[in-house]
């Protein structure tokens, strides 16, 4: 069984379960993933031999794009794991989010991030953190509680990092499953999507933008993003979460007229498939596919939820 997805972080709104359906519509040799997110669709496209050109504005996705999609043969080594344990003076998380983890563990994580020199090592640490603190707990909502709560109230929900080296070694192997050479020079870009579309050339473009009315990625992952750059980031919500998001969907379609095939996916409780189809049809002939899909994680909690996911594919 293909274990490539084990290399990727869990991602809110990630399309791991839909990736095969999405890729069944892809044409040509160059696949463009304009909103990379957690990387599931790009990784499958890479495994299927496409040249992948992916993009996302966020640092968390840059880490995935560089460490996994672009990377042909640099694997994580034991040294990459052991070098994370060196003592440093770093206190970023301790000082910025003092209740994020238990004290001893926070010290280890602060050291580890100061020692992490490569995107692969950062990916290793993010997957490690998610093992002890599910991604929802890195969201903006929970830490507000964490900041105000007594540690005794939170403690039962936080697992101690028992023998981190063993867990890290195991995650290292999982990440290495996703690193392979598909014979193409795959690319990651970290741009606003409209700047990215100006110059990109390819056969199929896949759009999975944030959805209007849903929680913004910038809020949900603010702590994770801040930890990655080791500085507190001010939340700036994506324009695709705004009330006039529809206008940006039209702009995506206008800016991608030079690409033969367009695939859109949309999800969430209030998605109106017919409306989205009619938006795309104002630019090109298109078809609608409605798929019942279970979300791996949600903004509100960690439980599986069934939702309808919509694909709109140009003809």
Ligand X SMILES: C[S@@+](CC[C@H](N)C(=O)[O-])C[C@H]1O[C@@H](n2cnc3c(N)ncnc32)[C@H](O)[C@@H]1O
Under rule CB under 6 A, residue 56 binds ligand X: yes
Under rule CB under 6 A, residue 143 binds ligand X: no
Under rule CB under 6 A, residue 217 binds ligand X: yes
How many CA atoms, within 13 angstroms, populate the side-chain half-sphere of residue 20?
A: 4
Under rule CB under 6 A, residue 11 binds ligand X: yes
**Window contacting ligand X (CB under 6 A); options: 45-53, 55-63, 71-79, 306-314:** 55-63
Alpha carbons 25 and 145: distance in angstroms, whole number: 44
Alpha carbons 6 and 9: distance in angstroms, whole number: 8
Under rule CB under 6 A, residue 57 binds ligand X: yes
The DSSP-derived string for 153-216 is HHGGGS----SHHHHHHHHHHHHHHT----SS--EEE-S-HHHHHHH---SEEEE-PPPTTSPP
Alpha carbons 49 and 44: distance in angstroms, whole number: 9
Nearest approach, Cβ of residue 214 and ligand X (Å): 9
Nearest approach, Cβ of residue 3 and ligand X (Å): 17
Instruction: Report the candidate in 178, 179, 167 with the shortest Cα–Cα distance to residue 5.
Output: 178
What's CA 302's distance to the chain center, in Å?
A: 16
**Window contacting ligand X (CB under 6 A); options: 44-52, 89-97, 206-214, 275-283:** 206-214
Nearest approach, Cβ of residue 216 and ligand X (Å): 8
**Window contacting ligand X (CB under 6 A); options: 51-59, 100-108, 151-159, 256-264:** 51-59
Query: What letter does residue 291 receive in the DSSP assignment?
Result: E
Under rule CB under 6 A, residue 238 binds ligand X: yes
Alpha carbons 36 and 24: distance in angstroms, whole number: 18
**Window contacting ligand X (CB under 6 A); options: 76-84, 136-144, 166-174, 232-240:** 232-240
Pairing of strands 305-314, 51-55: unpaired
Which CB atom, from 94 or from 141, has the smaller least distance to ligand X? 141
Nearest approach, Cβ of residue 238 and ligand X (Å): 3
Question: Among residues 43, 67, 193, 262, which is the contact residue for ligand X, using CB under 6 A?
Answer: 193
Under rule CB under 6 A, residue 37 binds ligand X: yes
Check: CB of residue 267 under 8 Å from CB of residue 308: yes
Question: Among residues 4, 9, 32, 35, which is the contact residue for ligand X, using CB under 6 A?
Answer: 35
Alpha carbons 199 and 257: distance in angstroms, whole number: 12
Q: Which two tokens stand for residue 233?
A: 């980031």
Under rule CB under 6 A, residue 14 binds ligand X: yes
Which CB atom, from 147 or from 195, has the smaller least distance to ligand X? 195
Alpha carbons 196 and 126: distance in angstroms, whole number: 26
Residue nearest ligand X, Cβ-based: 37
Question: Among residues 38, 164, 178, 202, which is the contact residue for ligand X, using CB under 6 A?
Answer: 38
Size of the site for ligand X (CB under 6 A): 22
In this structure, how many other beta carbons lie within 10 angstroms of the beta carbon of residue 307? 15
Which CB atom, from 146 or from 263, has the smaller least distance to ligand X? 263
Q: Which two tokens stand for residue 1?
A: 């069984």
Which CB atom, from 42 or from 115, has the smaller least distance to ligand X? 42
Binding residues (CB under 6 A) for ligand X: these are: 11, 13-15, 35, 37-38, 40-41, 56-58, 61, 192-193, 208-210, 217, 238-240
């Amino acid at each position: 069984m293909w274990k490539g997805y084990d290399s990727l972080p869990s991602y809110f709104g990630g399309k791991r379960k839909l990736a095969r359906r999405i890729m069944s519509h892809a044409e040509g040799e160059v696949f463009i993933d304009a909103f990379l997110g957690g990387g599931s669709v790009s990784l499958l496209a890479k495994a299927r031999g496409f040249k992948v050109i992916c993009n996302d504005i966020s640092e968390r996705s840059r880490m995935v794009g560089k460490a996994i999609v672009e990377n042909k043969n640099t694997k994580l080594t034991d040294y990459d794991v052991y070098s994370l344990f060196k003592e440093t003076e770093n206190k970023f998380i301790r000082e910025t989010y003092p209740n994020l983890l238990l004290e001893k563990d926070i010290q280890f994580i602060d050291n580890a991030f100061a020692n992490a020199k490569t995107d692969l090592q950062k990916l290793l640490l993010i997957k490690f953190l998610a093992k002890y603190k599910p991604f929802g707990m890195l969201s903006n909502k929970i830490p507000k509680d964490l900041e105000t709560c007594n540690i005794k109230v939170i403690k039962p929900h936080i697992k101690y990092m028992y023998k981190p080296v063993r867990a890290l070694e195991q995650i290292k192997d999982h990440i290495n499953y996703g690193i392979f050479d598909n014979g193409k020079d795959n690319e990651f870009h970290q741009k606003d999507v409209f700047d990215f579309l100006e110059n990109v050339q390819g056969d199929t473009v896949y759009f999975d933008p944030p959805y209007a009315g849903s929680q913004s990625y910038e809020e949900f992952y603010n702590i994770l993003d801040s930890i990655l750059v080791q500085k507190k980031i001010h939340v700036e919500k994506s324009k695709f979460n705004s009330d006039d998001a529809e206008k940006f969907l039209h702009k995506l379609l206008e800016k991608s007229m030079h690409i033969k095939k367009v695939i859109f996916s949309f999800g969430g409780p209030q998605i109106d498939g017919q409306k989205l189809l009619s938006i795309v049809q104002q630019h090109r002939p298109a078809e609608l596919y409605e798929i019942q899909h279970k979300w791996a994680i949600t903004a509100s909690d960690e439980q599986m939820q069934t939702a309808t996911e919509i694909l709109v594919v140009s003809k």
